[in-house]
Amino acid sequence: MRVMAIDYGDQRIGIAVSDALRMLCGDAFTMQEWDMDRAAERIAAEVRTRGVDTLVLGLPRNMDGSEGPRAEKTRVFAEKLKAATGLEPVLWDERRSSVEAHAILRANGRKTRDHRKNVDAVAATLMLEGFLGRVRS
């Protein structure tokens, strides 16, 4: 079975899915969806299609570890995902994932104005890699 990491945002949602052996990121993409309920249903369809049995949802925290309004919204989305998929999302500390994703895109020659198209998928990939590394340890 596969693991799916989700970088939830108001406009774009980054998604990364592991390979069947749960070793590597097999696919990463960005989904455009503004409605939280529709986003949960679209992700549930991807879960069924791709044979996902574990969800990892990025939990945005402040640099001091505290949680703000964005984290609260993510927790609400986690409940919607649970209802839509039947899977309990693992909440993953995503501090600095977007910063690192931007750095990776810059290092690969992507223009800053083009980052919006890919940064969420790259951030989801970073979360997935971190989760898979912890599970293997």
What domains appear along the chain, each with residue ranges and CATH number? 2-136 (3.30.420.140)
* Residue percentage of the chain with pLDDT more than 90: 55
pLDDT tens figures, 1-49: 899 999 998 888 999 999 999 998 889 999 999 999 999 999 999 999 9
Measured between alpha carbons, how far is 124 from 55 in angstroms, rounded to an integer?
11
pLDDT tens figures, 41-56: 999 999 999 999 999 9
Measured between alpha carbons, how far is 121 from 116 in angstroms, rounded to an integer?
10
State pTM to two decimals.
0.85
Look up residue 14 and give its DSSP letter: E
